[in-house]
Chains A and B, each alone.
Chain A
């Protein structure tokens, strides 16, 4: 299944969830947030939220700034 994670094309296995998408780009579990097609998916819903073909997932964390 082809998806876009943080702007990069990625392959996820069919049935993958937001949790799998996050794991594809970071091992961090704290201080990270995910959005699926511009809607925030709260951490508690990562495991239950399925990703589908062509979805865009953003995975953000806090960095130095401001």
Chain B
């Protein structure tokens, strides 16, 4: 079925966006990315390390996977804007996964700094994909500011707790005119399927795959879970019932 994900006019046949953090080695990461079928994958911007071995950009380039730089580690709008501008110059893309976190313990987004950074980057021509709280009002404000997608968390980064507030995610989906990407908190395949069944347009995850016992196998599971959840959403689930409803004709006579 031709059912592309479209963000800012660009088409992706995979609805699984991957992160690259947490993998034991470039080789493990490469095999996981291959198995995931992803076409868009995040990278972080850090000071160059002369001792670094292997390049994540090269890993993505050889696979035809588009890099999506993030502003991970930034605590203020100013830091995030500078990091995004450096990513644009280094990678030649004006797309950015905008992260502005409040504190190291929760890694939750700081909504005030996030909206400020989004407005500044959009004014500078960036295509902004913000990592946001599961707050329908904030999601609406980010969309109104001109963000190309909204990316609410299912649970804190790296927690693997799944979608903690499905009701809010549904509200965000209902109100959004841009793609909704469930970002962060996915622990296993069923979490990714739930996110898609709730109506999210895509899922972004890293830890659940890179830290799994077998990253390549989990990547394959995530690929299939996202597809299954998307198909189930499009198909329309049956209503939940309190009592049984026979699926065979009644026995006559």
Q: What residues make up the interface of A, taking CB atoms closer than 8 Å to B?
A: 6-7, 25-26, 28, 30-35, 38, 40, 42-43, 58-66
Contact = CB atoms under 8 A, between A and B. Distances in A.
Interface of B: 19-23, 29, 42-50, 52, 55-57, 67-70, 72, 82-83, 85-91, 97, 99, 206
Contact of A66 (B20, B52, B55): B20
B163 to A, nearest CB: 19
A34 B90 CA distance: 8
Contacts, number: 99
B89 A65 contact: no
Contacts of B69: 62
B47 A66 contact: no
Given A25-B48, A26-B48, A32-B48, A62 B72 contact: no
Contacts of B49: 63
A66 B17 CA distance: 11
Given A6-B47, A66-B72, A60 B23 contact: no
Given A31-B91, A35-B82, A43-B89, A64 B57 contact: no
20 contacts: A31-B90, A31-B91, A33-B45, A33-B87, A33-B90, A40-B82, A40-B85, A61-B48, A62-B55, A62-B91, A63-B43, A63-B46, A63-B52, A65-B21, A65-B43, A65-B70, A65-B72, A66-B43, A66-B72, A66-B99
Contacts of B86: 33-35, 40, 58, 60
A63 B67 CA distance: 11
Nearest to B17: A66
Nearest to A43: B89
Nearest to A28: B48
B47 A59 contact: yes
Contacts of A65: 19-21, 42-44, 46, 70, 72
Contacts of B91: 31, 62
A48 B131 CA distance: 37
Contacts of B88: 33
Q: 10 closest A-B pairs (Cβ-Cβ)? A: A65-B44, A66-B42, A33-B90, A33-B86, A62-B43, A33-B89, A66-B19, A64-B20, A66-B70, A26-B48
Contact of B56 (A7, A25, A32, A64): A64
B56 to A, nearest CB: 5
Contact of B46 (A30, A38, A60): A60
B90 A62 contact: yes
B47 A60 contact: yes
B41 to A, nearest CB: 8
A61 B90 contact: yes
Contacts of A42: 89
Given A26-B48, A64-B21, A66-B72, 15 more contacts: A25-B48, A31-B91, A32-B90, A33-B85, A34-B89, A35-B86, A58-B86, A60-B47, A60-B86, A62-B69, A63-B52, A64-B44, A65-B20, A65-B70, A66-B97
